[in-house]
Amino acid sequence: MTTQQLIEQIKIKKSFLCVGLDVDLNKIPQSFLALEDPIFEFNKAIIDATHDLAVAYKPNTAFFEAYGIKGWMSLQKTINYIDDNYPEIFTIADAKRGDIGNTSSMYAKAFFEDLNFDSITVAPYMGKDSVEPFLAFEDKHTIMLALTSNEGAFDFQTLDVDGKELYKRVLETSKTWKNSENLMYVVGATKAEYFTEIRKIVPDSFLLVPGVGAQGGSLSEVCKYGMNASVGLLINSSRGIIYASKDADFAQKARQEALKIQQEMAVIMQAE
């Protein structure tokens, strides 16, 4: 999917919501456990209930890999289901990959070609030659960690490197890489006060923003400092939406939570 197509979907749906598909078998209605593929069936129900309110889905691969081959098959079925039924939706493989060049190329093939995701999250720690293999894919997007939502973000990402914080160096340096127009960046919603500085370095890039809902980040604060003329934000909530209820009404409750966020987004977009 092109960035322009994503922007069009945001305008049509008045939403820049990304629903995180982080399925934990201990947290879903226990009736699903009797089904052949509980993870896929749960995802399908969540997707059917929220697809008109969200512009993106982000399965975090950990929640599939934890269940071995069966989990991997659930991931494949989930992405195929989205592609077949809601092709307008932007898909994010939250896999946080990155390795020496020839290994990164294989990761890129796995997620962009075999699974056909529109994007993947990537860690910047190994530098240019670990990220460029992902950037080589046309109309695919590489979402690089910049300033993450967790407490540990302060261990390295904000350290001073020759007078500038490391995450700023990561943002600046990445702009010099080949096909850098295919980059997006992860910035945690819990770090809203940093968005002004981040926008000075990457004014036009899309930012994937996890951390609203269960981690307590504020949608309005993120938008205040992080939004650009094309919105430029994908706000993710996983647990806050998919586990809104553990009972038979889980999909309906997930929709209600997604609707609350989408309505807030529509108001913010109108005010801009």
Ligand X SMILES: O=C(O)c1cc(=O)[nH]c(=O)n1[C@@H]1O[C@H](COP(=O)(O)O)[C@@H](O)[C@H]1O
Q: Which of 148, 157, 182, 205 binds ligand X (CB under 6 A)?
A: 148
Instruction: Quote the CA–CA distance of 59 and 208 in Å, as a whole number.
Output: 13
| Contact yes or no for 172/198 (Cβ under 8 A) | no
Considering all CA atoms of the chain, what is the largest pairwise distance in Å, rounded to the nearest integer? 57
Member of 16, 54, 94, 132 binding ligand X (CB under 6 A): 94
Distances (CA, A) of 208 to 16, 41, 217, 234: 10, 26, 13, 5
Identify each DSSP E strand in the chain by its residue range: 17-21, 56-59, 90-97, 119-122, 141-147, 160-161, 164-165, 183-187, 207-210, 233-237
158 part of the interface to ligand X, by CB under 6 A: no
Residue 59 interacts with ligand X (CB under 6 A): yes or no? no
The minimum distance between CB 210 and ligand X, in angstroms, equals: 3
By CB under 6 A, residue 214 contacts ligand X = yes
Measure the N-to-C terminal CA separation of the chain; round to a whole number of Å: 25
Q: Of the candidates 237, 244, 257, 268, which one interacts with ligand X according to CB under 6 A?
A: 237
* Closer residue to ligand X (CB): 133 or 211: 211
Window 174 to 193, contacts with ligand X (CB under 6 A): 186, 188
Q: Would you say the C-alpha torsion 148, 152, 157, 163 has a positive or negative sign?
A: positive
Which of these is catalytic: 44, 77, 96, 260? Answer: 96
215 binds ligand X (CB under 6 A): yes
Q: Does 257 bind ligand X (CB under 6 A)?
A: no
Pick 152 or 163: Cβ nearer ligand X: 152
Is 140 catalytic? The answer is no
Cβ proximity to ligand X: between 35 and 171 the closer is 171
Q: Does 236 bind ligand X (CB under 6 A)?
A: yes
